[in-house]
Amino acid sequence: MLELASIELSDDEIAARLNLSPRSIRFQLERIFGMLGVRNRSEAIATLMDSKRRAPRPIDECPYPKPFPANFEECPAYQALQVVTPDERSRPAGRIWTCRHLEGRLMAKTRHRWYGACVLGDTAGRKRWAERAGPDRLRTLNHLLHELAPVTASFAQRLWELKGDQVRALEQKQDPKPATLLMESVAARFLGDIEAFLDRRRRLLEQNQLAIDECLNLARRQIDRVLDPGSPAEWDNRFDVLMRLPEDVWSASLLKSRESAIQAAR
Could you read off the pLDDT of 126-162 as tens digits, one per residue? 999 999 989 999 999 999 999 999 999 999 999 999 9
Which among 223, 144, 152 is positioned nearest to 187, based on CA atoms? 223
Instruction: Look at residue 256 in the predicted model and tell me its pLDDT.
Output: 55
Does 265 have pLDDT greater than 80? no
What average pLDDT does the chain have? 89
CB proximity list for 236: less than 8 A, separation 6 or greater: none
- Residue 99 pairs in a beta bridge with 80
Taking each continuous run of H as one helix and of E as one strand, the counts in the chain are 12, 4
The DSSP result for 218-229, as a single string, is HHHHHHHHHH-T
* Cis bond before residue 76 (omega within 30° of 0): no
Q: Is the pTM of this model over 0.75?
A: no
Give the residue extent of every domain in the chain.
1-54, 134-257
Query: In Å, how far are 23, 85, 172, 259 from 92, measured between CA atoms?
Result: 14, 6, 24, 30
Does 263 have pLDDT greater than 70? no
71: left (phi over 0), alpha (psi -120 to 50) or beta: left
For 51-74, letters b (16+ CB in 10 Å) and e give beeeeeeeebebeeebbbeeebee
Instruction: Answer positive or negative: Cα dihedral of 23, 24, 27, 29.
Output: negative
Highest mean pLDDT among 44-53, 83-92, 121-130: 121-130
Q: Which fold has domain 1-54?
A: Arc Repressor Mutant, subunit A (1.10.10)
Instruction: Look at residue 261 in the predicted model and tell me its pLDDT.
Output: 52
Cα separation of 143 and 71, whole Å?
Answer: 7
232: left (phi over 0), alpha (psi -120 to 50) or beta: beta
Does 255 have pLDDT greater than 70? no
pLDDT digits (tens, 9 = 90+) for 5-62: 888 888 998 888 888 889 989 999 999 999 888 999 999 988 888 876 665 779 999 9
